[in-house]
Amino acid sequence: MDSLLALLAAPEVALGALVGLGIGLLFHWLAPAGTDTVAAGAWFVGLGCLIGLAWPIIFGRSKK
């Protein structure tokens, strides 16, 4: 459980969440009236967190 909390507190996850939040705010500002911007914003933040979690796995340096 301790390693899961450390993983969620990783800087890549926080950066992904901030980027997702920024995209969500931009979408909220630019979306036409009547669009469900809250759900879309939650998706953007969630996807940002997932990309932040996957970033070290995909682009990390392999230790040989």
Domain ranges of the chain: 2-59
Which positions ≥6 away from 56 have C-beta within 8 Å?
10, 12
- The mean per-residue pLDDT over the stretch 16-44 comes to 92
For residues 3 and 42, what is the distance between their CA atoms, to the nearest angstrom?
25
What local confidence, expressed as pLDDT, does residue 30 receive? 92
Question: What pTM did the predictor assign?
Answer: 0.76
pLDDT classification of 62: cutoffs 50, 70, 90: low
pLDDT classification of 2: cutoffs 50, 70, 90: low
